[in-house]
Chains A and B, each alone.
Chain A
């Protein structure tokens, strides 16, 4: 059986004026369904770019990304959108919640995008917010939540449609130690409970240590640490 997600010789380069910057130089790796991995590496090495390519937000310069055996970048625009909607969940360093909407509405958004009815989307969102421990703050706007709470809402939003892959880009990077610890525990618990495959980029070596699998990005390649 094909792995959940597989990168094959992924190259990614940017043009900065006249200069070509090679971020990924043939990175390859595979993640099994339900597997959880941490990704570490110094700043600016291309961890975010790698996550974006894996999550189909950014097409690679060369190489391919297979999700359950299918080449994601060969999909048409609509298919790709549905894929992002159903199969992948993103959590970023900044929560990136929509400030004018309440926590519930933010978490219901992926459901609304997949054209669920408002009631369905909101009941799923409520369920997921209760799982992340925010059942009591449904109607608060992001501005009225603490940093840790905001990141929990973002996590709930990423997981509300039960994707098979979670991509988290330094989810604790903006939080203090204790709050970050809490988010991490939640990630591990959700991975166990929902069976979601996850790649978590982190700068915190202690948190990275606790992951079942540890990856390192260096010189444009992904290696098991």
Chain B
């Protein structure tokens, strides 16, 4: 190998190169965001995540390249470039200031601009240093050498990674998650057994017999392992003559570091899974009742909806279209009155845009259009369907019984109106909570009042019409079940005197998360103005932005746990460097490069981080499965969910692992760099 001394670039060259690379990175982010926003149907969050991720990666690569150019970290030159970059960012952001009606008023004030520019400058410096550390790791000051051979061997002896410790680790890996998982399974089968009424032969008995066998096997296994461990300890005690076996403090600290990372990762995955469980539960319920987007018009006249409907349906990505009318009314039944949102729907296509037909717990949605089929009050329509199963319980049975009794004792409707007229009253579907409030069941007659009725010389007089309850709906959202009532489109048009108008069209898309972009496509296909769309996220913005913020806050707080755990890694490695100073000197006197010494300690820290992360992820997954199976009870009156929801999202787990590994890597840099800069005589002088 011929070695020629290659001089490092001059400071000005490095700084200018860094600045140019930073500018290119910012340009990359901006153009990528523009392109993704225009050419794909990704959500705005996804676009910013991808574009800023690409920019971050670019900065890492820039730092990596600069370390080769400058033959070192060159922090001062990078700092100068980052400062100039921050100033440039300030002016560019000010020029890019979006119009005032834009709802993300990110760049509204100069103060915020300064903060963002500082962030840009700081991030560019930090990421460039990070990238440079990769360069230094493979020997940026000379010939690049990414090989990791004897370095790994030495790192392994520092961590005491041998067959014995690997076995202990494996047990720690498998046993706690397995126990959790098992607990969940047991709780689940116990629940099943209890539910399948304590009748004749519970089928779960077979399962528990097999489980007893499994438990016995596990006990034997654990005993065997413990015995083996004891035997190994005894063997250790009988050492070869003259040999001293002691456990240095660093070994204990290594274990503690691994446990620290594992606990942090565990907490992070479990909390994030529960939060995204809440989110997806909510999303499911909201999208069950609402469509993905509304197609509206900047005008009260939407009489051409019959011709618009097929056009909208033909747009790629649109899965269903249905017209709707929405207005506020008052409902009364007997002495009870309540306000409601009356929605006119087309029962034939409503199922294409929402889950309405699957939310029916009694009656039929199509009876809204064919009220003649609604059974009379002489018999009680029993709850049916999937949604009804979630209700159950003695309380509900009692309610149904009371309804029937009430009807038998007060057949008031039958007296007032003759049976034929009754049969021809239009149908209405109401939510479960409203059914409770009004004490109305399928077949009962309710009065609907619109406050904006006839104009008379004495002022407006409300208009009222009787409807017969066609079905009861249960969405799982208290708000919806107590507020929404549904009638057919023709009835609604007649009731509100709107001719052949509708308020708008409901749209359902193939991809929920692309609702905004697909909505724009539909509007474009219709020729733009006066049409517009509002997607579900926009309609429920408060709820979802609160959830997102909460999740972000949680993620940041819990990342601090992992961060603290990484400080453990840091201190362990510093201890190790101190303990191994002599060894480092000897390796260097044998010709080990600085980069090799750095590699040894980086690999050690990363191994600690990786083992801890893997343990945490496994434990987190097991905990999620436990929560899911065990079904932690929540107060349904508060949350309207009976069990703590969990949503195990693979992407989230990958994200947590990436954060944890990145932090572990950062924690290794200081001790590893320190170790690599030790002089060979530092460790030799001591004796």
A36-58 vs B, CB cutoff 8 Å, 1 = contact: the mask equals: 00000000000010001001011
Among residues of B, the one whose C-beta sits closest to the C-beta of A105 is B153
Asked if B591 and A110 sit within 8 Å, CB to CB, the answer is: yes
CA distance A200 to B150 in the complex (A): 30
Contacts of A90 in B (CB 8 A): 589-590
Asked if B592 and A81 sit within 8 Å, CB to CB, the answer is: yes
B315-352 vs A, CB cutoff 8 Å, 1 = contact: the mask equals: 00000000000000000000000000000000000000
Partner of B150, one of A55, A83, A113: A113
Chain A binding surface, main DSSP class: helix
Is A86 located at the chain interface by the 8 A CB criterion?
yes
Asked if A79 and B680 sit within 8 Å, CB to CB, the answer is: no
In chain B between 1 and 32, which residues have their CB closer than 8 angstroms to a CB of chain A?
Answer: 1, 3, 5-6
- A82 and B3 in contact, given A77-B141, A112-B149 (Cβ under 8 angstroms): yes
Among residues of B, the one whose C-beta sits closest to the C-beta of A55 is B589
B516-528 vs A, CB cutoff 8 Å, 1 = contact: the mask equals: 0000000000000
Asked if A77 and B593 sit within 8 Å, CB to CB, the answer is: yes
* Contact count band on A: 35 or more
Partner of B583, one of A85, A98, A157: A98
Is B247 located at the chain interface by the 8 A CB criterion?
no
- A78 and B147 in contact, given A85-B590, A144-B243 (Cβ under 8 angstroms): no
Is B242 located at the chain interface by the 8 A CB criterion?
yes
- A98 and B3 in contact, given A78-B142, A110-B591 (Cβ under 8 angstroms): no
Partner of B590, one of A52, A84, A143: A84
Is A76 located at the chain interface by the 8 A CB criterion?
yes
Asked if B149 and A58 sit within 8 Å, CB to CB, the answer is: no
Chain B binding surface, main DSSP class: loop
Among residues of A, the one whose C-beta sits closest to the C-beta of B582 is A96
Contacts of B238 in A (CB 8 A): none
With both chains docked as a complex, state the minimum distance between the C-beta of B589 and any C-beta of chain A, in angstroms. 5
Partner of B680, one of A57, A76, A82, A115: A57
Contacts of A157 in B (CB 8 A): 590
* Contact count band on B: 35 or more
CA distance A100 to B587 in the complex (A): 14
CA distance A48 to B243 in the complex (A): 29
Contacts of B157 in A (CB 8 A): 98, 100-101
Among residues of B, the one whose C-beta sits closest to the C-beta of A163 is B591
CA distance A94 to B6 in the complex (A): 37
10 smallest beta-carbon distances between A and B, as pairs: A85-B591, A78-B142, A100-B157, A112-B150, A57-B680, A84-B591, A81-B593, A58-B681, A79-B3, A143-B243
- Known contacts A79-B3, A96-B586; 5 additional CB pairs below 8 A are A75-B5, A82-B1, A85-B590, A115-B149, A143-B240
Can you spell out 28 A-B residue pairs with CB atoms less than 8 angstroms apart?
A55-B589, A57-B585, A76-B3, A77-B141, A77-B142, A78-B141, A78-B142, A78-B143, A81-B588, A82-B3, A83-B591, A84-B591, A84-B680, A85-B591, A90-B589, A90-B590, A92-B684, A94-B687, A96-B582, A98-B154, A98-B586, A100-B157, A109-B150, A109-B590, A112-B149, A113-B587, A115-B145, A143-B242
